[in-house]
Chain A
Amino acid sequence: QQQVKQSPQSLIVQKGGIPIINCAYENTAFDYFPWYQQFPGKGPALLIAIRPDVSEKKEGRFTISFNKSAKQFSLHIMDSQPGDSATYFCAAVYSGGYQKVTFGTGTKLQVIP
């Protein structure tokens, strides 16, 4: 059962554009929502994360928007650069469940110069 739905599957933007990746979850017990960035040949690395009591979080050029009532959250990348080309995974965690992380299916982002 897919508990975290992620879209789009792939995304191509020009340098300086603002790619947006969306995720939706079903289980209201989730209480932590991280985003991971994965480059080819590497494991995923934590990019930014948010708790559901916050509607927005910014770290550098990366912003998470969170809508608790709609059970949706999204990642925005401001002023995107070719170096941001990677696969991005949203995830949801129930911290009372010994850190079992449920991942979205991933979005492959390509930023063209």
Chain B
Amino acid sequence: KAGVTQTPRYLIKTRGQQVTLSCSPISGHRSVSWYQQTPGQGLQFLFEYFSETQRNKGNFPGRFSGRQFSNSRSEMNVSTLELGDSALYLCASSLALGDFSYNEQFFGPGTRLTVL
């Protein structure tokens, strides 16, 4: 079974631009979560989508948004990029069989975003 895939793997943008990152979950996984990883802050939760609905959101500004499609694929968008947005953006998928049971999250390799 193929793992979580993220595209592109590397991206260079300039301040003020916007960017869209893509994540394809493991087949059959319905939940997709996004994280920002930086050396100083570790992994910070951005948001989680389940059945095309955002169920959970972290403490990030509105410039960060996402969506999930009917095939569970997800995209994350960052508008008006700032230097501080440079980070590794990780996507994770899980089965999400029930609301009150933890399902292992499987991470993709990430998209390395550099903002100049």
Interface residues of A (CB under 8 A from B): 6, 32, 34, 36, 41-46, 49, 89, 93, 95-106
The answer to whether B99 and A101 have CB atoms under 8 Å apart is no
Q: What range describes how many residues of B lie at the interface? A: 20 to 34
- CB atoms of B55 and A98 under 8 A apart: yes
- The answer on a CB contact under 8 Å between A96 and B109 is no
Alpha-carbon separation in the docked complex, A72 to B104 (Å):
22
Cβ contact within 8 Å between B31 and A99: yes
Contact of A101 among B33, B41, B101, B109 (CB under 8 A): B33
Interface check B108, CB cutoff 8 A:
yes
Residues 83-116 (chain B) with a chain A CB within 8 angstroms: 90, 92, 94, 96, 99-110
Asked whether A106 and B42 contact (CB < 8 A) given A98-B50, A99-B102, the answer is yes
Report chain A residues within 8 Å CB of B50.
98
Chain B residues in the interface with A (C-beta under 8 A):
4, 31, 33, 35, 40-45, 48, 50, 55-56, 58, 90, 92, 94, 96, 99-110
